[in-house]
């Protein structure tokens, strides 16, 4: 399996038929979830404005898109070498990896550990003790506990950095709420937890976001990669910006005069900028989340919320008598029961076939659904996932136009992008509509950017330090 799988270009597969709602009442009821070209244009302008505010020294405090400089300036050249540990925390799972980089080649051992709900919401010390415990178990199993291995820490939350090995958590996202971590340097918290155990030794060489890891892991193979994108539990993008545009830059001005910027675009909308396209469904998702009023763009797009958005629409349409003969189910009425993977499954049916759709509806206790209902359920899934793909495509067009590089590969990772049958093509379609003439782009699936990217950032750091 190659490191970065190239996805088919949009032109090869423009035939993304949206299923037909079976009545005009159904279509009307979903209309508010369909973005008009004018609305897309307004999202584009507003996001660009927030990014520019984020990059400005005097304006950063008011910006919703914070554009954190990452201190990663060099991209990999494909010749990085060495053995590295990587930690990857950013969703419901936590991973420890041991990565061997040899000229143009990767070897990797890894183990996944769950992050239980009580740890996600408990004291920060508990979280970092858990991480240290997993790391120690892994190091012992690999018989490397006596070595001091360089380590890259992928910590995928908004952090303000003042160097490659310091990252202060600004705010938790994606369902985490551990106390005592916001405002703190997560590298220090990690090192302290490891010292408390005293049975392994590490040397943290770099702390990074998953978008950075994704960009780096694609850039290792494809040297024109200048954007890293995640559409998974959360959504976010990073890109390579010229230092002269980064007023907050306090690092070295040595060549290359560029730095990766972690946009944290998931927070776009936090000051009401998306109010003109928010629906009641979006407001409900937001109100019932653990971070109301925050991460609005993310809540319209990412895997943590997509299934629930579909459920809310289905529930409302059922109440209005437009679905399932007006008869829902207890499961459908319960928050969180329509998983985002169901959206992928329903849309993976060939048009006119409802095999996956019926399986999903059975899980939800909706065996009484007719073929017409199945067609409409698919329509709702498509409406919600299209909106998400178009919003991400708009965000990418902003970055590509801003960079003005003639050829750019965008490294992409995350379960929604990886598994959804149409999101890739829909994003390409949207970007093509907004991109400046003369700019060519390609979206490339990054294989395990968070893990490999951590090793690459650590490797590039040691290469440039020596």
Binding site for ligand GLC (CB under 6 A): 90, 156-158, 173-174, 209-211, 230, 232-236, 264, 266, 298
Active-site residue flag, 282: no
DSSP 33: G
Q: Closest approach of Cβ 376 to ligand GLC, in Å?
A: 31
- Whole-number CA gyration radius for the chain: 22
Out of 66, 73, 88, 174, which one is annotated catalytic? 174
Name the residue nearer to ligand GLC (CB basis): 55 or 361: 55
CA 94 to CA 86: how far, in whole Å? Answer: 11
Choose, from 129, 185, 210, 373, the residue flagged as catalytic.
Answer: 210
* Closer to ligand GLC by Cβ: residue 200 or 227: 227
**In whole angstroms, what is the distance from residue 47 CA to residue 461 CA?**
31
- Rounded CA-CA distance 232/25 in Å is 32
Nearest-CB residue for ligand GLC: 234
Question: Please, which residue, 375 or 447, has the CB nearer to ligand GLC?
Answer: 447
d(CA 216, CA 228): 8
Q: What SS3 class is residue 225?
A: strand
Q: How far is the CB of 139 from ligand GLC (least distance, A)?
A: 26
Q: How far is the CB of 123 from ligand GLC (least distance, A)?
A: 20
Between 54 and 158, CB nearer to ligand GLC:
158
Helices 423-434 & 371-403, crossing angle to 10 degrees?
Answer: 40
Smallest separation (angstroms) from ligand GLC to the CB of 156: 4
Distance CA 394, CA 392 (A): 5
Measuring CA to CA, which residue among 85, 107, 106, 105 is closest to residue 97? 85
**What is the separation of C-alpha 410 from the centre of its chain, rounded to a whole number of angstroms?**
13
Catalytic residue check, 174: yes
Nearer to ligand GLC, 149 or 230 (CB): 230
Q: Which of 341, 365, 367 is nearest to 354 (CA)?
A: 367
Nearest distance, CB of residue 237 and ligand GLC, angstroms: 8
**Nearest CA to 7 among 434, 432, 419, 449?**
419
> Which residues are tagged catalytic?
174, 210
């Amino acid at each position: 399996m190659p490191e970065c799988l190239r996805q088919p270009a949009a032109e090869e597969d423009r035939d993304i038929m949206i299923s037909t709602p079976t009545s005009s009442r159904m279509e009307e009821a979903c209309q508010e979830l369909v973005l008009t070209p004018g609305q897309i244009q307004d999202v584009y302008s507003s996001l660009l404005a927030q990014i520019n505010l984020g990059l400005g020294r005097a304006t950063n405090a008011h910006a919703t898109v914070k554009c954190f400089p990452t201190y990663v300036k060099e991209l990999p050249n494909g010749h990085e070498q060495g053995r590295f540990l990587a930690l990857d925390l950013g969703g419901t799972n936590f991973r420890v990896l041991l990565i061997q980089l040899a000229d143009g080649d990767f070897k990797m051992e890894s183990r996944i550990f769950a992050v239980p709900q009580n740890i996600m919401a408990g004291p920060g010390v508990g979280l970092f003790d858990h991480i240290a415990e997993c790391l120690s178990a892994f190091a012992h199993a690999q018989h490397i506990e006596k070595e001091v291995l360089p380590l890259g820490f992928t910590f995928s939350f908004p952090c303000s950095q003042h160097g490659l090995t310091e990252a202060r958590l600004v705010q938790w996202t994606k369902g985490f709420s551990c106390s005592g971590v916001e405002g703190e340097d997560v590298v220090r918290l990690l090192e302290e937890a490891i010292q408390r155990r005293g049975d392994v030794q590490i040397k943290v060489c770099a702390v990074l976001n998953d978008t950075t890891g994704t960009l780096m892991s694609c850039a290792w193979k494809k040297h024109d990669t200048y954007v890293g994108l995640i559409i998974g539990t959360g959504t976010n993008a990073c890109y390579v910006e010229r230092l002269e545009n980064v007023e907050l830059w306090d690092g070295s001005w040595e060549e290359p005069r560029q730095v990766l910027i972690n946009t944290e675009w998931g927070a776009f909308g936090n000051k009401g900028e998306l109010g003109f396209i928010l629906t009641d469904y979006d407001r409900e998702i937001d109100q019932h989340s653990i971070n109301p009023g925050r991460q609005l763009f993310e809540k319209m797009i990412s895997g943590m919320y997509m299934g629930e958005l579909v459920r809310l629409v289905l529930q409302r349409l059922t109440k209005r008598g437009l679905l399932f003969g007006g008869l829902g189910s207890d499961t459908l009425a319960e928050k969180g029961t329509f998983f985002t993977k169901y959206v992928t499954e329903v849309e993976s049916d060939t048009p006119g076939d409802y095999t996956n759709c019926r399986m999903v509806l059975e899980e939800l206790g909706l065996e009484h659904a007719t073929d017409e209902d199945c067609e409409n359920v698919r329509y709702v899934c498509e409406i919600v996932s299209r909106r998400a793909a178009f919003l991400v495509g708009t965000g990418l067009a902003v970055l590509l136009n801003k960079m003005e590089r003639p050829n750019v590969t965008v490294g992409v990772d995350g379960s929604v992008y990886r598994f959804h049958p149409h999101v890739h093509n829909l994003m390409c379609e949207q970007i093509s509509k907004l991109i400046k003439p003369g700019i060519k782009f390609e979206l490339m699936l990054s294989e395990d950017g968070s893990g490999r990217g951590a090793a690459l950032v650590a490797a590039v750091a040691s290469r440039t330090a020596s």
